[in-house]
Structure 1
Amino acid sequence: MATRLVQINMKAHDDSALGRFWADALGWSISSEGPGVTNLEPEGFVYPDPTAICIDLVASPEPKTVKNRVHLDLATKSPAHQAELVARLKNLGATPIDIGQGDVPWVVMADPEGNEFCVLDSLYEETGPIATVVVDCADPHTMATFWSQATDWTLHKVTDHNAVLRSAAGVGPYLQFLRTPDPKTVWNRVHLDVRPYPTDNLETEATRLQSLGATVIDLADSDIHWKVLTDPESNEFCLLTPA
């Protein structure tokens, strides 16, 4: 048994408007499964597929108060392409920001609702428009152990600084756990969604994840058909129904 990282869930004051920004930024199609939810995926994409990690934007009245612990790194083909993409993103409503990154080869930006993301200068042909999904953490070794066992993703690297995983199929974005001194203080505004395979069982998979170090969040008043858990560093993630 295993799960697959299938999408990123992002809270938004205006899911439709922010969805249009990210659809234009990535060159993806946009749809909606209902009021307050905007879905993004590549044109012609057959979900789920490891070649892409989709994005779900969900309306939320909660304000953004701290730097997100989960963000996207966008890929480009070259420094020239990077400069071109940064200019286009500015026209779409993104803003360059300083979060103390110093002199680095990537460009740090915020989307129209203040969600941080980076524009890299390589990897596009290898990964598609999203190069990496980055999660801040205190201990990359702990996160590498948990997430490599929780999913069928392959661990490519683990050091005291970061851990890097990628789909076992060798396609699509990377998943990186990046060491940071900043503690987690609020519910993550951006989180990971994982999904078991069609022949697996949701309850059995939830039990397996708990045995690896996850904790199930009790949402007693909710009628959702998926499960909300936290990883060993208390990052929320959703375990979706098998498909």
Structure 2
Amino acid sequence: MEEPNCHLFVPAEVEIRTEATVPIPEFQGSQCVGCGACIKACHFHALALLGNRVLVFPELCHSCGGCVLACASGALREAQHAIGHLEFRRNETVRLLSGILNIGHAMAPPLIRKLRERIAPGSTAILDAPPGTACPMVTTVRGCDYVLLVTEPTPFGLHDLKLAVRTLREIGTPQGVILNRADDESALIEEYCVTENIPLLMRIPFSRAVAEGYARGQRLLEVMPELRGEFERLLAKIGGNR
């Protein structure tokens, strides 16, 4: 959402670009009685009362509508606030929908939800989640049939993998691991997966050629076509977990 780059590997022009908005409270000064009910209702400190004027901080607002409901005098109403836009591309094999946050907007989950609303019911969709275990990642994976955790055999990779596994278990989403840049240190991840009973679904070897191809905008299978069978088996394994 902050800087999506999947389109670099999908050679196609943008066919549809739509603005994404969320409701933000707007102050109607003539009706305010200065009771402060809206301030008390907001758990995110997106409102401040100065005298008989309410200041709204859109960057902090979660668009829950609680302040508007709490205002008995009708001094607040909801207005649409732009947070980013959605872009749709397609070629002969792939349909790609990307969300791009506006510069300075800090909260990605509303835009992720807007994007997920565009997924056709019953269709197969691959969602590229942001790294980490913060709200954007949780918003992306919640409700998914299966989550692939891509990691690498380093202490940092293991640390982040453990956090992601705990998060997904809390949500109740099944998961498997893909080991990227697999090398002689792979036992670090393999032992953890065995201990935690997490399927290690695939290993992508550590290769300079892959990095060079990525820099040229080439997809993995264009550089290492011998992995096609591995990906086909991976898809079959995931399908069996749905």
Higher RCO structure (Cα 8 Å, ≥6 apart) = 1
Confirm or deny a common fold (TM above 0.5). Answer: no
Q: TM-score, normalised by structure 1?
A: 0.26
Higher fraction of helix: 2
Higher fraction of strand: 1
Instruction: Report which of the two structures shows the higher radius of gyration computed on alpha carbons.
Output: 2
Q: TM-score, normalised by structure 2?
A: 0.26
